[in-house]
Amino acid sequence: MQDKLFSCQTSKQQCLGDLQQTRQYIQQSQNVPVNKANVNIALNRLYNPLSPPERSYPSGRLNTPGTSDFQQIGIVYNNNERLPLFGRPKYPGRSEKYEYYVIDETRNRLKIPFKSKNDNELYDGDTIHLDILNNDYNVKIYEYDQFRYDPDIL
């Protein structure tokens, strides 16, 4: 039981360290103030197993800011493997062209970039071929996050 508690605490510390590193990287690379809400949402979706599998709108909605950073937008899978799919709009404000990569968990979390045909957006049910892994994969795209009623907000 104590091993499980130690493992949980270690995972929490790793997540907090990753969050801090991500914030610093974003600030250094863009020299703009970080939207902490977007960073926290993205990291929560990656590391929190209770967080639902969904993605944010790239251009934002109503009073919510959009994101132009990579986010997990789905998974690619075949009979043997399931890999997280990350993507972002290639040009901010236009959503039909995307950049993608997957993370291969079995090979030291190797990030594998790939291009869709003409950099077009991938949709649920599409099939892609990853040359590096020499395999075809089906695409499962997450739904967008939805507005939810919060009775505590006045």
Residue pLDDT, tens place only, 96-140: 889 999 998 887 888 899 999 989 999 999 999 999 889 999 999
The answer to whether residue 8 sits within a structural domain is no
Which pLDDT does position 123 carry in this prediction? 94
Which pLDDT does position 47 carry in this prediction? 79
Q: How confident is the model at residue 76 (pLDDT cuts 50, 70, 90)?
A: very high
Which pLDDT does position 32 carry in this prediction? 47
The answer to whether residue 120 sits within a structural domain is yes
Which residues form the domain of 59? 55-144
Looking at the structure of the chain, the number of domains it has is 1
The answer to whether residue 66 sits within a structural domain is yes
Average pLDDT over residues 46-70: 67
Q: How confident is the model at residue 25 (pLDDT cuts 50, 70, 90)?
A: low
Q: Is the pLDDT of residue 91 over 50?
A: yes
Q: How confident is the model at residue 92 (pLDDT cuts 50, 70, 90)?
A: confident
Contact 108, 115 (CB under 8 A): no
The answer to whether residue 67 sits within a structural domain is yes
The answer to whether residue 80 sits within a structural domain is yes
The answer to whether residue 152 sits within a structural domain is no
- Of the listed ranges 13-17, 24-28, 66-70, 84-88, the one predicted with least confidence: 24-28
The answer to whether residue 78 sits within a structural domain is yes
Cβ-defined contacts of 53-60 (< 8 Å, 24+): 53/142, 54/142, 54/143, 54/144, 54/145, 54/146, 55/141, 55/142, 55/143, 55/144, 55/145, 56/144, 56/145, 57/144, 57/145, 58/88, 58/89, 58/92, 58/95, 59/92, 59/93, 59/95
The answer to whether residue 32 sits within a structural domain is no
